[in-house]
Structure 1
Amino acid sequence: MLLHLSGLYYTLYFLAIFLMIIYKSQVFSYPNDCLGLDLMLLSLMGMLEAVRLYLGAKGNLMEAEMPLAASLALTAGGGLLSIHFLLWQTLVLWADWVLSATLLVLHSLEAALQVVAIASFIR
């Protein structure tokens, strides 16, 4: 259930962060090299999130440890990218902070539940 919620939230997150990066590039003096880096990291985060959610759902349905462990590792990578957009982005607006903090909380909850699921699947 949490993986489904995370997928829905990440779709909103991706669109909102993308639109805010476009907004910041038009309104503020946003360096072009940083604009490209932020867009590249957002795209990388989108790809990681899609693979992470797929592996998490697959591992959960099959009750398999390996896909869940891979999803857990990708959750850590997604968490680092969330921290980037939370703290280290070129321009961080209040809305960026709220969206990224919420995503980080979702990642933390999923990581904890993935560890519990992996522990219960090991026989």
Structure 2
Amino acid sequence: MALVGRGHVVLSSVPLQVLLYLNSYYFAFFFIAEILMFVYKGQVLPYPSSNLALDVLLLFLLLGIEISRTYFAWKGNLTERRVPLTLALGLAVPCVLLSLYLLLWQTYVLRAEVIISSILLVFLGFEAVLSCLAIATFAKAGALE
């Protein structure tokens, strides 16, 4: 906690903000790598076209949810608001499920996908823990005011 201005205590979580920043770049890498792996699998493996379309659709769904989750977590942390952080925490659930789908349940899973999906799940887990701590800090500070 740092004092800023006229006695205002900064409650934003720096570790959470750093993790969100790093995750935004990592997810861009993850998305591009997954697209390239789907192109590879579509060309080399006997991938049924309906399954390929479903897997790509779920990847784009993950993209939309992850962008929304990161935005709400980013803004909630910087503005010290519980509601956006709680919403981001709720959006982490479908992100985890879709990441698990890409890790375990898609038609063909490459070793590279196992690695990058596992790293994404680690990011999501750490961000969820730090979001819970930030929400608790904001709630405690709100109760003291």
Whether the TM-score (by the shorter chain) exceeds 0.5 is: yes
Partner of 1:105 in structure 2? 122
Q: Is the partner of 2:121 in helix, strand or coil? A: helix
Q: 2:60 corresponds to which letter in structure 1? A: S
> How far apart, CA to CA, are the structure 2 residues paired with 1:90 and 1:96?
12
Q: Is the partner of 2:47 in helix, strand or coil? A: coil
Where do 4+ consecutive residues of structure 1 move more than 2 Å? none
Partner of 2:134 in structure 1? 117
The structure where helix makes up a greater share of residues is 1
> How far apart, CA to CA, are the structure 1 residues paired with 2:67 and 2:57?
16
Equivalences, count? 123
Percentage identity across paired residues of the two chains: 44
Partner of 1:68 in structure 2? 85
> How far apart, CA to CA, are the structure 2 residues paired with 1:61 and 1:20?
35
Q: Is the partner of 2:107 in helix, strand or coil? A: coil
TM-score, structure 1 normalization: 0.98
Q: 2:66 corresponds to which letter in structure 1? A: E
Q: 2:75 corresponds to which letter in structure 1? A: K
Alpha-carbon distance, 1:91 to partner: 0.2
Partner of 1:6 in structure 2? 23
Alpha-carbon distance, 1:76 to partner: 1.4
Q: Is the partner of 2:102 in helix, strand or coil? A: helix
Larger radius of gyration: 2
The structure where strand makes up a greater share of residues is 2
Residue 31 (str. 1) matches residue 48 (str. 2): yes
Q: 2:91 corresponds to which letter in structure 1? A: L
Residue 42 (str. 1) matches residue 42 (str. 2): no
Structure 2, unpaired ranges of 5+: 1-17
